[in-house]
Amino acid sequence: MTGRGRAFLALAIVVVLLGAGFVTVELRSSGSGSGTSSGATVAATSPLAGSSGPAAVASCPTPTSSPDWNSENFFSDVLVQVQVPGNPSESGANFYTVPCENDLPTYLQAFWLNISTNVPISEAYVTIWGTSYPNAASDALADFDPSAPRLLPMYQAVPDSSTASFYFNLYRFFYPGSMVYFNVTVESQFAVPSTVASTSSSYDTELPTGSGDNATWQFYVEPPWWSTTFTSDISVFTNPSVLGSYPYEPNPTQGISIGIESIGPTGAPSTPIPEALLEFTLTGQFAGHYSVPFGPLNSTWENITPSVGSVIGPYDGATMTFNITIGLPWEGSEIDELTSPNYAFSWSSKGGWWAPSQGLSANANLSSSPWVLNTTSTSLATGTPVNVTVHVPIPNVTLASSIVRFSFADAAGTLEGNLPMTALSDNTTFGVIPGLPSDAILTFSILAKDEFGVPVASGNYTYTESGPPATAAAADTSWIYVEAADVSSGHLIPDIPFTIANATWSGSGEIGPLGFGIPLAASGAGVRLLDYGNYSISVTAYGHTESTAVVLNASSGPVQVPFWFASGPVRATATVPVTAVLVALVAGPLVATLALYPLFLWYRERQRKAAEEQRRITL
């Protein structure tokens, strides 16, 4: 296995009983003591390189013969088996001899080196030395200094047995980032020669020249980072962005969020970050030194934890200096730590519109779906909702509020008002204009205020909706628009209740801020589709309730049902728009009659009052 940037493997279970369920493959050479018999051929690798080391392709032998101790050839005399718990690809023949390197996962706890031969073994020991992270080429490994290699005995369950084992306790001695070299020496009173060693002077070694302790095997315990430089391993993000060439210091009411991401050699997300800590110092009113952990642990992307609300501040007028330390928790402490440079910023007194006199489009990005932000009127299908979004690209400008100001008109009347917009973030809001009845026209603009309450407005945009709906209703279903008009003013009446029912179902709703209402789906999102059939509708306004009947069928499509009320005196010359009445005719003669009946009562009452007024004047 090669490569520094692969993901962490699962924590291996340390198995302490020799041979318990491990995959074992013999490592043996039929050649000389150098161990260069035929076998797998791979490129030798170098720690921290992330790529091939020596340009030449090296032979990595995987000996397979049975032991027969009768020569100075170690691999002819001794059988070597390597067992890597939980990692069979690193066991046996895949644990290569030098000059090839064995890469071990960061969280691997240990592995066994087992030897056996055909004669009793009097003594066996391993010679170990190595280097440590982050400077694997020069930093001596604690207790295993290359200038003074350590000799450790191998374990024998029974004295003079023909087997011996050594437990490489990685978790205890060889921390992630360690490059370790070792060889084996075996002695026997029952063989000639009495001592054989796996060492070979033909291989390069970390030891001083002439020491004779040359490596037979080498392994590299991968660190959590592919590089020894924080900025090469981790990207730091803040919102507002206080880093880089164009920093934006947060405004007085804006907190700052900080996130980090693990990156590999190509800049793409890499191995998970085991543990990270933010440390920062504040000046001014909140002076002090603080620390906050990142989370979730072992993720490629981490933020400061929600225990501080995922943001720091705001601290009006303060300066904040911070850095980030990443590390690997190991035996109750942190190892392989890397620390970022120090970053600093101040909470600014600014953060308002950059061009408050030039309109909203000069200070923010406006968008809509579907697109209606044209200089001329846009035509949409009946019932098409429009999503309008305001986004301020300058991250330290906060949108305190924003609204859609509208003027709506259809055959039943007109209405002007405001629709609220919802905040997605400090600098982004959106609002949804409901789908309109057929032949309706809407003109709207957007008014937004910054953190300091300064208003900026967009220009006016107009669109109409007519014709068949953009999305066909389910089979044998349609929907109803309910409207109420004030004949005293000619305006539609918003925010009043209505009910709609058939023989088996009834529901209620409210005429919305644009002057029309639609029965909503049970979930509250979208239009409730009504089965074809007969429905009764009632609307209450100014303390008076009016009702009518509607028939939904295949020829009607979405039906508009207007109701008429008077909030005050009505001019003698006032008339109810005939076009509004004719809308009801699409549902058939019965609906037209029922819809006209309230108008007849209204006209009769108006005639009676006019006659009384004439008599009063005569008298």
Gyration radius from the chain CA atoms: 41
Torsion-angle region of 314 (φ positive above 0: left; ψ -120 to 50: alpha; else: beta):
beta
Contact 399/455 with Cβ under 8 angstroms? no
My answer on whether 367 and 252 are in the same domain is: no
pLDDT, one tens digit per residue, over 251-268 is 888 889 999 999 988 888
**What is the pLDDT, as a whole number, of residue 172?**
86
Q: Which tokens belong to 116? A: 């056996």
The answer on pLDDT for 334 being more than 50 is: yes
pLDDT, one tens digit per residue, over 265-301 is 888 888 889 999 999 999 988 899 999 999 998 899 9
Cα(349)–Cα(373) distance, integer angstroms: 34
pLDDT, one tens digit per residue, over 20-34 is 332 233 332 323 333
* 515 is a domain residue: yes
Measured in whole angstroms, the distance separating CA 595 from the mean position of its chain's CA atoms is 55
My answer on whether 434 and 483 are in the same domain is: no
Mean pLDDT computed over 355-365: 93
**What is the pLDDT, as a whole number, of residue 307?**
58
**What is the pLDDT, as a whole number, of residue 47?**
35
The answer on pLDDT for 536 being more than 80 is: yes
Cα(81)–Cα(159) distance, integer angstroms: 20
Q: Which tokens belong to 610? A: 């006019």
**What is the pLDDT, as a whole number, of residue 579?**
38
Give residues with Cβ within 8 angstroms of 55, minimum separation 6: none
**How buried is 352 (Cβ within 10 angstroms: 0-12 exposed, 13-18 middle, 19+ buried)?**
buried
pLDDT, one tens digit per residue, over 301-317 is 999 875 556 789 889 88
H or E stretch covering 166: strand 163-169
Q: Considering only CA atoms, which of 522, 431, 433, 440 is closest in space to residue 481?
A: 440
Q: Which tokens belong to 497? A: 């209740």
My answer on whether 201 and 297 are in the same domain is: no
The answer on pLDDT for 619 being more than 60 is: no
For residue 305, CA distances in Å to 325, 334, 339 come to: 15, 19, 19
Half-sphere exposure of 473 (CA within 13 A, CB side): 23
End position of a domain, from candidates 466, 497, 530: 466
Domain with 137, as residue range(s), is 26-221
The answer on pLDDT for 510 being more than 80 is: yes
**What is the pLDDT, as a whole number, of residue 207?**
59
* 615 is a domain residue: no
* 330 is a domain residue: yes
End position of a domain, from candidates 191, 221, 251: 221
Could you tell me what percent of the chain has a pLDDT over 90? Answer: 42
Contact 359/461 with Cβ under 8 angstroms? no
For residue 330, CA distances in Å to 47, 135, 174, 295 come to: 21, 19, 11, 18
* 353 is a domain residue: no
**What is the pLDDT, as a whole number, of residue 189?**
92
Q: Considering only CA atoms, which of 171, 142, 146, 166 is closest in space to residue 156?
A: 166
The DSSP result for 329-354, as a single string, is: EETTEEEEEEEPPPEEEE--S--S-S
Half-sphere exposure of 200 (CA within 13 A, CB side): 19
**What is the pLDDT, as a whole number, of residue 140?**
86
My answer on whether 371 and 482 are in the same domain is: no
For residue 257, CA distances in Å to 187, 199, 429 come to: 64, 56, 19
Looking at residue 553, what DSSP letter applies? -
H or E stretch covering 292: strand 288-295
Mean pLDDT computed over 552-568: 85
The answer on pLDDT for 8 being more than 50 is: no
Half-sphere exposure of 334 (CA within 13 A, CB side): 11
Q: Higher confidence at residue 178 or residue 94? A: 178
**What is the pLDDT, as a whole number, of residue 63?**
65
Q: Quote the number of domains for the chain.
A: 4
pLDDT, one tens digit per residue, over 188-237 is 999 999 999 988 654 445 555 555 678 888 899 988 888 889 999 999 99
The single-letter code of the amino acid at 532 is Y
Q: Which tokens belong to 537? A: 């509708």
pTM: 0.60
My answer on whether 213 and 234 are in the same domain is: no
My answer on whether 215 and 72 are in the same domain is: yes
Cα(508)–Cα(234) distance, integer angstroms: 56
**What is the pLDDT, as a whole number, of residue 208?**
55
Mean pLDDT computed over 134-160: 85
Which of 67-76, 91-100, 160-169, 468-477 has the largest mean confidence?
Answer: 160-169
My answer on whether 329 and 371 are in the same domain is: no
The answer on pLDDT for 82 being more than 70 is: yes
Q: Which tokens belong to 254? A: 């804006």
End position of a domain, from candidates 306, 321, 346: 346
**What is the pLDDT, as a whole number, of residue 211?**
58
Q: Which CATH number characterizes residue 489's domain?
A: 2.60.40.10
* 174 is a domain residue: yes
My answer on whether 502 and 439 are in the same domain is: no
* 354 is a domain residue: no
* 17 is a domain residue: no
Cα(166)–Cα(156) distance, integer angstroms: 9
Give residues with Cβ within 8 angstroms of 398, minimum separation 6: 251, 253, 254, 351, 426, 427, 450, 451
My answer on whether 270 and 159 are in the same domain is: no
Q: Which tokens belong to 530? A: 């009504």
Q: Considering only CA atoms, which of 546, 525, 248, 517 is closest in space to residue 394?
A: 248
- The beta strands (E) that lie in 411-496 are given as 413-420, 422-425, 428-433, 440-450, 455-457, 461-466, 477-478, 480-486, 491-492
My answer on whether 489 and 523 are in the same domain is: yes
Q: Higher confidence at residue 113 or residue 478? A: 113
The single-letter code of the amino acid at 68 is D
The single-letter code of the amino acid at 97 is T
pLDDT band at 11 (very low <50, low <70, confident <90, very high): very low
**How buried is 109 (Cβ within 10 angstroms: 0-12 exposed, 13-18 middle, 19+ buried)?**
middle
Rounded to a whole number, what is the distance in angstroms from the first to the last CA of the chain? 113
Contact 559/412 with Cβ under 8 angstroms? no
Which residues on neighbouring strands pair with residue 477, listed in sequence order?
531
For residue 45, CA distances in Å to 55, 179, 203, 209 come to: 9, 12, 14, 21
pLDDT band at 105 (very low <50, low <70, confident <90, very high): confident
pLDDT, one tens digit per residue, over 491-509 is 999 999 999 999 898 888 8
Q: Which CATH number characterizes residue 390's domain?
A: 2.60.40.1220
* 77 is a domain residue: yes
My answer on whether 41 and 167 are in the same domain is: yes
Half-sphere exposure of 58 (CA within 13 A, CB side): 22
Q: Which tokens belong to 593? A: 């009659």
Contact 60/102 with Cβ under 8 angstroms? no
Q: Considering only CA atoms, which of 325, 255, 323 is closest in space to residue 289?
A: 323
Positive/negative CA dihedral, 438, 441, 447, 448: positive
Mean pLDDT computed over 5-25: 30
**What is the pLDDT, as a whole number, of residue 3?**
34
My answer on whether 339 and 385 are in the same domain is: no
The DSSP result for 231-263, as a single string, is: HHHEEEEEES--SSSS--PPPTT--BEEEEEEB
pLDDT band at 48 (very low <50, low <70, confident <90, very high): very low
